[in-house]
Amino acid sequence: MKPSLFFLLAFYFIYFKLLFKVNIKQKIYHEIMLLLSLMIAFYFKPYYQIYGQVVMIDVGQGDCFLIQQPFKLGNILIDTGGLKNTDLAEVTLVPYLRSIGVFELDYVFISHDDFDHSGAYDSLSEKIKIKETITTYQEKMTIGNVEIEMLKTPLSDDSNDSSLVFVATVNKLKYLFTGDISTTVEKQLVETYPDLKVDVLKVSHHGSNTATSALFLEKIKPRIALISCGKGNLYGHPHDDVIQRLHDYGVKVYRSDQMGMVKIVYYGNDNYIFQ
């Protein structure tokens, strides 16, 4: 919740009451009150942040996305990434989250158990308060001003094809998060949801050629593609054929291996992309 109007009125009442006290030298008084005002402004800054953002955090060969809403309406993390022999939460996630005023996460969605999607979760949960973690299909959810609609996919023995798939509507843009699903699940999705259309596609499996088929792109018609993958990774992600298909369908591609962190910042009805 935002600090109450009562709190702000009380603060300034005390401020002006002290202003007219004669037993404190005016210059010293103003310096003290300026310092206190700056401290309070810094403490409550997240509550009065007027913009929101969807961030593809650069976690190397893995996935980690943040939805940070304005006025502290809710912070949502989608996957945590994970690197062998590196505490990714300690060196990357926590410093970044704290730097933008995120000291707790309302929801963490884990698409599936692969280490490059969930490996940093345990360490992160020790350092940042996580209110709720979602690992299975849920009915439609509203978190602040963000709507989450999970898409039903058939049960599979393959961990990648068991990924949670959902559409997050953020400031009128529809983001499709796909985990690591293959073309098999993509085909089932467009058959089950023939009217599915999105603005932003989180490209499945870091741009592997096992996904992002021409059929899928033709049906969902994304305008923007986000690919989270490590620079010089051993898997050759993203695959050249995937990049070509995205270009063929007029999709603007943003990839973390070349661009690092990518942010879609929104304010009012406008959305801006920064890299």
The one-letter amino acid code at 59 reads V
- β pairing state of 104-109 and 200-202: unpaired
Instruction: Kindly tell me the burial class for residue 25, based on how many C-beta atoms sit within 10 Å of its own C-beta (0-12, 13-18, 19 or more).
Output: exposed
Q: Is 237 left (phi over 0), alpha (psi -120 to 50) or beta?
A: beta
Structure tokens that stand for 167 in this block: 């559409």
CB 225 within 8 A of CB 253: yes
Question: If pLDDT is split at 50, 70 and 90, which confidence band does 47 have?
Answer: low
Is 16 a residue whose pLDDT tops 90? no
pLDDT tens per residue, range 86-108:
999 999 999 999 999 999 999 99
- Sheet with 270-274: list strands edge to edge: 129-134, 104-109, 75-78, 65-68, 52-56, 262-267, 270-274
Chain-centroid distance, C-alpha 185 = 23
Q: What is the mean pLDDT of the chain?
A: 91
- Predicted pLDDT of residue 49: 83
Is 125 a residue whose pLDDT tops 60? yes
How many other CB atoms sit within 10 Å of the CB of residue 215? 11
- Tokens 């401020």, located at residue: 15
The one-letter amino acid code at 225 reads A
Q: Is 144 left (phi over 0), alpha (psi -120 to 50) or beta?
A: left
Structure tokens that stand for 150 in this block: 């999970």
pLDDT tens per residue, range 206-252:
999 999 999 999 999 999 999 999 999 999 999 999 999 999 999 99
- Predicted pLDDT of residue 89: 99
Average pLDDT over residues 99-128: 98
The answer to which of 33-37, 77-81, 107-111, 142-146 has the lowest mean pLDDT is 33-37
Question: If pLDDT is split at 50, 70 and 90, which confidence band does 275 have?
Answer: confident
d(CA 236, CA 226): 16
Record the pTM: 0.86
Where helices occur in the chain by DSSP H, the ranges are: 5-19, 26-43, 88, 94-99, 115-118, 121-127, 183-192, 214-220, 240-248, 256-259
pLDDT tens per residue, range 253-267:
999 999 999 999 999
For the chain, how are helix, strand and coil distributed in percent, rounded to 5? 35, 25, 40
Name the nearest CA neighbour of 124 among 135, 143, 110.
Answer: 110
pLDDT tens per residue, range 191-211:
999 999 999 999 999 999 999
Question: How many Å is the Cα radius of gyration of the chain?
Answer: 22
pLDDT tens per residue, range 131-162:
999 999 999 999 999 999 999 999 999 999 99
Q: What percent of the chain has pLDDT over 70?
A: 83
